[in-house]
Amino acid sequence: MSSHLITVASWEDRFRLGFERIVADGSVKKVLVYYVKEYEDWSAENITSILKTAAENGIDVERKAISFEEPLQTWRTIGSSALSHLSDAPDVLVDYTTAPRSILWNIMFFLSHRQITANYVYHKPGTYCKDWLSRDPSRPRLVYKLSGITLLGKPTLLVIVAGYDEERVDHIIAHFEAKRVLIYVQAGNEFWNEENISHYKDKYGSRSEIELREIDIFGTGHGYESLSQDLKEFSESHNVILTSLGPKPSALALFRLVQEDPTVGLCYVPANEFNRDYSKGIGQAIIN
């Protein structure tokens, strides 16, 4: 395991349990914890818990506040803190389990910019809430420094890795009014994926501009090979926008695609409300 850990605080069980799992072997010596100011109260108990665990294990912890409402300042905070925290880092582990995707992409941008190789870990939940996960989505935002290049006269292709946040999928489709939309849904029967696939087929199957495809985000490359191959058809003819609203490891694959083709843009759909019972427990760790 790595000596330096970067993580983003949350009220979810798997933030605390994942931290305990990671530091158990004694390798971690320094931790950089980002916490979202708008949800600081919700996350406070878990933060207190991991600080206690860190103190018991002689681990140095640095905390940095970020905000959904101040994306530029958040970007600057991540850049400056990552530089100071990682100045002596021989190896880095990013636990992105509870990191908002825009924050994860900011972290990945600065690690890449400074040519720091990192490993990434994602802890599946024990279970998701089957009620709503988030709601009241805000205006979609292109990610700073990863927004791609839009050329006049070209139609837009919107690529969505979708999950259980249906309202955010609807919102981004309506916002961009893209000429083509590819919706990727996790294959298999874990949680209620089969029900989810059927639902998206029923909802969008009659719309000629929307195509639904299944993908294995938890396989090798987190869907990168399938996405990369599919995008070859559109990269020359369309302005391409990518977003991850489904299984979070897909965010790693999308970032890789943007690194390889900077004309492609990353987009994020903020939500104004999250379900406090979003998930329970902790499941398998996905490490790469």
Residues 141 and 161: their CA atoms lie apart, in Å, by: 16
121 and 145 share a domain? no
What is the reported pLDDT for 85? 74
159 and 56 share a domain? no
Question: For 95-123, b where at least 16 C-beta lie within 10 A, e where not — what string?
Answer: bbbbbbbbbbbbbbbbbeeeeeebebbbb
117 and 149 share a domain? no
Domain that holds residue 175: 139-269
120 and 157 share a domain? no
Q: How many domains does the chain have?
A: 2
243 and 206 share a domain? yes
What is the reported pLDDT for 130? 74
pLDDT tens per residue across all 288 residues of the chain: 688 999 999 999 999 999 999 999 999 999 999 999 999 999 999 999 999 999 999 999 999 999 999 999 999 999 999 877 776 777 899 999 999 999 999 999 999 988 888 999 999 999 887 777 788 889 999 999 999 999 999 999 999 998 877 889 999 999 999 999 999 988 866 655 667 777 788 788 778 899 999 899 988 899 999 999 999 999 899 999 999 998 999 999 999 999 999 999 999 999 989 888 888 999 999 998
First to last CA, the chain: 12
**Is residue 214 a contact partner of residue 187, using CB atoms and an 8 Å limit?**
yes
- Domain-embedded: residue 131: no
117 and 31 share a domain? yes
113 and 147 share a domain? no
What is the reported pLDDT for 131? 78
Full-model pTM: 0.94
144 and 253 share a domain? yes
What is the reported pLDDT for 164? 78
What is the reported pLDDT for 99? 97
- Domain-embedded: residue 100: yes
- Domain-embedded: residue 260: yes
Instruction: Give me the CATH number covering residue 151.
Output: 3.40.50.10770
Question: Rounded to the nearest 5°, which phi and psi values hold at 64?
Answer: -135, 130
- Domain-embedded: residue 201: yes
208 and 170 share a domain? yes
232 and 192 share a domain? yes
44 and 160 share a domain? no
Residues 256 and 288: their CA atoms lie apart, in Å, by: 13
